[in-house]
Structure 1
Amino acid sequence: MMLPRRQDYGKRTSDGLRSGPVTSFRSAGSPSSVRRGSAVLPSVLTFLVVVASGGLLLMIEKGMLNSMETPSPRGNARRLELFRESRTHGSDGVDVDSEILQEIRNRTIRTMCSQKNMPHSIWSLSALQRKTVLQHILVNEEYRFLYCYVPKVACSNWKRVLKVLSGALESVDVNIKMDHRSDLLFLSSLKPEEIRYRLKHYFKFMFVREPMERLLSAYRNKFGEIESYQKKYGVEIVKRYRKGLVKDASVKGDDVTFGEFVRYLLDEDVEHMNEHWMPVYNLCQPCAVSYNFIGSYEHLERDSEYVLQRIGAPPFVHFPERQTWWNDDK
């Protein structure tokens, strides 16, 4: 995901730290730069995509924790079974490996977010930033938790879980198309004092995904399968980056290349991006919201089981397995 280029609360370098003037990435994606540096463009774009698509959390983990060795998983299948058993019998089962990794992540985030120019509450965000994060945090009142959903990181399945927990859906395995708005309570619909209370007292969690994988997933899904995205974004991208097609009415936008998509992202204002490729940082604001748990798409089943155990979900509620009839990483 793209690091913010225009933030109200300071400037950021590519590794997530605050510094002086923001480095401009626009020149790297401009036509003139492509002509001058075509030999190095692939490597530059690869670097920019990783930086631009990751957001603060994964950049921290990849950049600062890659030299740390965490305990290797021991018997994942058995551990998941123990999770289910502990939820059934009400015991305090603990996944030590997950706890250690989570503590490393939490300490790293606290260190990064302790910078004085970083936002320390949602009320210190700009109106647009606050609107974005509040519209991406879902609320469950019975089990008292908040979930910040990130498109392309299994958010459809988590919404199914929320609907089952609220009684709006019988089972997570029901073969129906996901309605991403109905039967869901968004934090943005509550009053300021209600928002403050829930942010302070409810269990808060989110899930992140390896940056390049999330970006590729959005590209393949939206430009390869969904006509509305091809018409709205694809046509604009093709006309912007292909010479002589600005006024061509025959452009359908169904053949956007990944390189064109990356150039489009580099030229866009991060705070006005479509949510499917907006940075995780902007969607969930991990410095403004103190999340209790940050799960990983790469360890989705294990981390999801941990969350279900932590919120006290009933034993019959499980995280959905990937099915052939729906795309669960939307």
Structure 2
Amino acid sequence: MLYEALCNYIAAAAVKGIAKRMGKYVIIAVIAIGVFAVSGVLIACMCYSQTTEEEIELAIKETKPDKLSVEQSGRLKVVADWCKKLNWFLKTQSWENSIPHLIVDDERKVMFCAIPKVASSNWKRTFIKALNITRNGSSDIRDVHAPGLLPDLRLYSKSEQEYRLRNYFKFMFVRHPMERLLSAYRNKIENKSVAIYKKDFGRHALMKVVNEKSPAELKRQSKKISFSEFTNTLTDPAYTLAHYNVHWKQYYKLCHPCFVKYDFVGKIESFEADLEYIRLKTGVDYRPSFQHHRRTTTPDVSREYFRALSNRTSRVLSQMYSLDMSLFQYDWRPKSL
């Protein structure tokens, strides 16, 4: 009340011109009151402002979707949308075919669907180390693909499988289907003789190649299989899907993303960022296991191989892998080709 009365008095005095006659005491009083009032307001505002900014910053940090989350949500939505469209087709499929490919880590409550030629060897080494698996007292296991080496979903009862499918963090990784196909050819077939080709992949894989070779070549069995010959075999109507080798079998037939609701779909093309996302979501850091990981099938290499394919072969390959490319947002050919 005293402060308000004094302010009113000074204001009135200023209007009437009295302030001049009150001398320096009035001026000092006005300045003192003003400084006190302004200081109080500033201190209050600063405290309020500081608290508000901290709260706002925290709220933004908690609610603002980061780039990785947005990207992942988009990937999973595309998969879900395509699965709805293909419901009629998927009824003829069985998710149980994915069981052998789902590696289980009960300690960390994660499951990973291993796809050949999508860094699967490195992933298996990672799980061998994480699960402390040894052979003859050593964790340095050469054949990481040995049957029964890693625990998969087949080891569990039906109810145990369903529990893990509902409660574990499930993830898979993919790459462009055409680059994976070429990688499989370069790793498994290129520079191998027809004899080895036949031994590894059987007469069905050899059918188209045999028809195109002379009796002398077949007798020698030393002729190498070109990428064109290999893809011609795959696209031959006589080479049925039942004979597809796991290294070039489609993703949706290996991991069944329309039956198994994956929490994360990673891509080789964004490998480091995707590994970071998994770490943030699960607390498991897989990055150290992939410090020296590199892709040997580069864009320049891929370009040369795919240029040799006929239009007919290219068209049939695009049809064979069209569902994979739709589910995981790939163009028919890698942009580099």
- Structure 2 Cα separation of the partners of residues 108 and 234 of structure 1: 37
Question: Which deviations, in whole Å up to 9, do the C-alpha atoms of 1:167-206 show, x marking residues without a partner?
Answer: 226xxxx865242235410112322111111111111100
- Structure 1 Cα separation of the partners of residues 261 and 207 of structure 2: 37
Question: Is the helix fraction higher in 1 or 2?
Answer: 2
1:210 offset after TM fit, Å?
Answer: 1.1
Question: How many residue pairs are counted as aligned between the two chains?
Answer: 226
Equivalent of residue 257 in structure 1, options 198, 211, 226:
226
> Relative to structure 1, is the Cα distance of residues 209 and 176 closer, same or farther in structure 2, using a 3 angstrom cutoff?
same
Maintained 8 Å contact 2:190/2:226? no
- Structure 1 Cα separation of the partners of residues 216 and 260 of structure 2: 43
Question: Which deviations, in whole Å up to 9, do the C-alpha atoms of 1:27-57 show, x marking residues without a partner?
Answer: xxxxxxxxxxxxxxxxxxxxxxxxxxxxxxx
Unaligned runs of 5+ in 2: 1-60, 298-337
SS of structure 2 residue aligned to 1:288: coil
Structure number with greater CO (CA < 8 Å, separation at least 6) is 1
- 1:11-26 pair list within 5 angstroms: none
Task: In structure 2, give the amino acid aligned to 1:105.
Answer: R
Match for residue 139 of structure 1? 104
> Relative to structure 1, is the Cα distance of residues 194 and 327 closer, same or farther in structure 2, using a 3 angstrom cutoff?
farther
1:141 offset after TM fit, Å?
Answer: 0.4
Question: Which deviations, in whole Å up to 9, do the C-alpha atoms of 1:94-149 show, x marking residues without a partner?
Answer: 98222111111111111111133153xxxx665xx545311111111001111111
Match for residue 202 of structure 1? 168
> Relative to structure 1, is the Cα distance of residues 110 and 323 closer, same or farther in structure 2, using a 3 angstrom cutoff?
closer
Unaligned runs of 5+ in 1: 1-90
- Structure 1 Cα separation of the partners of residues 116 and 289 of structure 2: 17
Match for residue 281 of structure 1? 252
Answering whether residue 197 of structure 2 is matched by residue 232 of structure 1, we say: no
TM-score (norm 1): 0.59
1:226 offset after TM fit, Å?
Answer: 6.3
Match for residue 178 of structure 2? 212
Maintained 8 Å contact 2:102/2:153? yes
> Relative to structure 1, is the Cα distance of residues 202 and 256 closer, same or farther in structure 2, using a 3 angstrom cutoff?
same
> Relative to structure 1, is the Cα distance of residues 153 and 159 closer, same or farther in structure 2, using a 3 angstrom cutoff?
same
Match for residue 291 of structure 1? 262
Give me the CA root mean square deviation: 3.5
Match for residue 18 of structure 2? none
Maintained 8 Å contact 1:223/1:256? yes
1:303 offset after TM fit, Å?
Answer: 1.0
1:272 offset after TM fit, Å?
Answer: 3.2
- Structure 2 Cα separation of the partners of residues 193 and 246 of structure 1: 58
Match for residue 303 of structure 2? none
- Structure 2 Cα separation of the partners of residues 222 and 176 of structure 1: 21
- 1:1-330 pair list within 5 angstroms: 96-115=66-85, 116-119=87-90, 126=93, 129-168=94-133, 177-181=142-146, 182-224=148-190, 228-229=196-197, 231-233=199-201, 236-237=206-207, 239-245=209-215, 248-252=218-222, 255-267=224-236, 268-313=239-284, 318-322=288-292
